[in-house]
Amino acid sequence: MSIPAEVLEALRPVKGLTLQPDAPLAGFTRFGIGGPADLVAETANPESFQEAVRICRSRRQTFSIIGEGSNLVVSDRGYRGVVLRYVARSLTAQGPRITADAGASLQELVDFSIAQGLQGLETLTGIPGSVGAAVYGNAGAYGHSISERVARVTFFDGEKVRSFSNAECQFDYRESFFKPHKDWMILRAELDLSAGDGDALRRQADQILRLRNEKFPPTMKCAGSIFKNLRLANLPEAAAAEVPREAVREGKVAAAFFLERVGAKGMRRGGIEVADYHANLIYNAGGGTAADLRAVIEELGLRVHQRFGIELEAEVQFLGEW
């Protein structure tokens, strides 16, 4: 561990902050790969989290903030610095508005909303990750995104706690204003839902979950789809001309459409494989490394670029030394 003694001495007294030196980060990711962090520090207390950030900043200590690691690829060599995790999981409802701590899982939020007889989040069932990460990346499925229901987001910008309205979050397809600010930490989100039939919502969510589990089995070490879908209007003319009408949904073309045409299905490198039934699904079949995973992602991106002139954008985030 290369964390200076003065940083450790400052972090240890912070109330409610748990420190794990030389912590393997593989256990914090869906892929189950990656080396250790010098230090993992986590807390469910917002003030303690803020204090930990201030300590790292004031001592020029390298740090990174992660959630549940569903879209995270950690280097085999790990991360030289402090990994901070905010793990508060409270969910409360007042009328049609739910307030969710960032550390709660998105599935917990979906299930809670259904139990309250509130609709608007049921299509997000089965998406892995935390509420904070879902807001950060504007998670969505089946034509809906969490941004449709976000009323306000409270976050810590490294100096003070701030609050953004939906418009200020600048949501877009798998994007938000938080993505360029990786050292900001979402603390909680307020979501406005509408009244619904809890039993009907549960049946709908269960049906979606069954379909999702067929495509992305819960035991599969993957991040779901690797690449973002593409807007038809933004494609080069030649590439757009190859896309049949039935492949376009809500103005977007699935990245898998292009990946299939460059031979992605069944591709393998070491323990990393592309599913033979889904060209945009890369998983760790066992013994995979982060280096192999990144190589497959880059190879597929290169193939699509060479064939179609398209730049695919990966949904996963990379952390550590490469």
Torsion sign, CA atoms 215, 219, 220, 221? positive
Closest CA to 108 of 94, 136, 88: 88
322/320 Cα distance (integer angstroms): 6
Angle 145-214-148 from CA coordinates, rounded to 5°: 5
311/41 Cα distance (integer angstroms): 36
Catalytic residue ranges: 174, 225, 315
DSSP 3-state of 222: strand
Contact 7, 57 (CB under 8 A): no
Secondary structure string (H, E, C) spanning 113-147: HHHCCEECCHHHCCCCCEHHHHHHCCCEECCEEHH
Name the region of 293 (left: φ>0; alpha: ψ -120 to 50; beta: rest).
alpha
Contact 141, 222 (CB under 8 A): no
Task: Compute CA 39 distance to the chain's CA centroid, rounded to the nearest angstrom.
Answer: 21
Closest CA to 185 of 80, 45, 58: 45
Contact 114, 201 (CB under 8 A): yes
52/81 Cα distance (integer angstroms): 13
DSSP 3-state of 201: helix
56/38 Cα distance (integer angstroms): 13
Closest CA to 232 of 217, 253, 247: 253
Q: Give the type of residue at 276.
A: D
